[in-house]
């Protein structure tokens, strides 16, 4: 099932710089641990039981990854899963990503 394409105007609104913050608040936000622990953790079902890994790419590599995703109608997540599985295969491990 193909994802709907995002128009350029939608991308501009997504990546637009946020408006300047309002002047000083009357009371600073509380940073107590009880407030943070009281919030329920919201984990997407697709991320349940999984851990994130971060990779830093050059701008050219990031663009190339984006273009490959667009060309083959795959998300960057799907491309990275494929890449990790190929790496596992190369080193003789099970493709479990």
pTM: 0.55
Residues 85 and 97: beta-carbon distance below 8 Å? yes
Quick: pLDDT tens for 86-95. 999 999 999 9
pLDDT of residue 11: 62
More confident residue, 16 or 58: 58
Candidates 47, 50, 46, 80; CA nearest to 62 is: 80
pLDDT of residue 26: 57
Rounded to an integer, the average pLDDT of 50-70 is: 95
């Amino acid at each position: 099932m193909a994802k709907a394409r995002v128009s350029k105007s939608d991308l501009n609104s997504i990546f637009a710089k946020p408006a300047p913050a309002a002047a000083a608040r009357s009371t600073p936000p509380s940073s107590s641990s009880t407030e943070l622990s009281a919030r329920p953790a919201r984990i997407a079902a697709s991320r349940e039981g999984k851990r994130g890994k971060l990779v830093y790419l050059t701008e050219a590599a990031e663009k190339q990854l984006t273009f490959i995703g667009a060309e083959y109608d795959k998300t960057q997540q799907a491309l990275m899963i494929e890449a990790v599985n190929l790496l596992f295969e190369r080193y003789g491990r099970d493709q479990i990503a």
